[in-house]
Amino acid sequence: MTKIRSTTVCGIFHNGEVALGADGQATMDKHIAKSNVKKIRKLLDGKIVTGFAGSTADAFTLLERFEEKLNAYQSNMKRAAIELAKDWRKDQYLRKLEAMMVVANKEELLIISGTGDVLEPDNQIAAIGSGSMYAHAAALALKKHAPHLSAEEMVREALNIAADICIYTNHNLIIEKPAK
- The DSSP code for 35 is S
Contacts of 65 (CB under 8 A, 6+ apart): 84, 87, 94
Lowest mean pLDDT among 50-54, 86-90, 126-130, 162-166: 86-90
Alpha carbon distances (Å) from 159 to 10, 15, 138, 151: 7, 19, 8, 12
Contacts of 168 (CB under 8 A, 6+ apart): 6, 7, 8, 25, 27, 129, 130, 131
Q: Which CATH superfamily is domain 4-167 in?
A: Aminohydrolase, N-terminal nucleophile (Ntn) domain (3.60.20.10)
pLDDT higher for 175 or 91?
A: 175
Assess whether 56 carries a catalytic annotation. Answer: no
Catalytic residue among 7, 8, 27, 50: 7
| The pLDDT value given to residue 96 | 67
37-62 pLDDT tens trace: 999 999 999 999 999 988 777 778 88
109-139 pLDDT tens trace: 999 987 778 999 999 999 999 999 999 999 9
**CA 132 to CA 104: how far, in whole Å?**
17
What is the model's pTM?
0.92
**The one-letter amino acid at 6:** S
* Residue-wise burial string across 21-31, b where 16 or more C-beta atoms lie within 10 A, e elsewhere: bbbbbbbeeee
Banded model confidence at residue 151, pLDDT cuts 50, 70, 90: very high
| Mean pLDDT on 145-162 | 98
Judge whether residue 68 has pLDDT over 60: yes
| The pLDDT value given to residue 160 | 98
Q: Return the CA Rg of the chain.
A: 15
Give the start-to-end residue ranges of the domains of the chain. Answer: 4-167
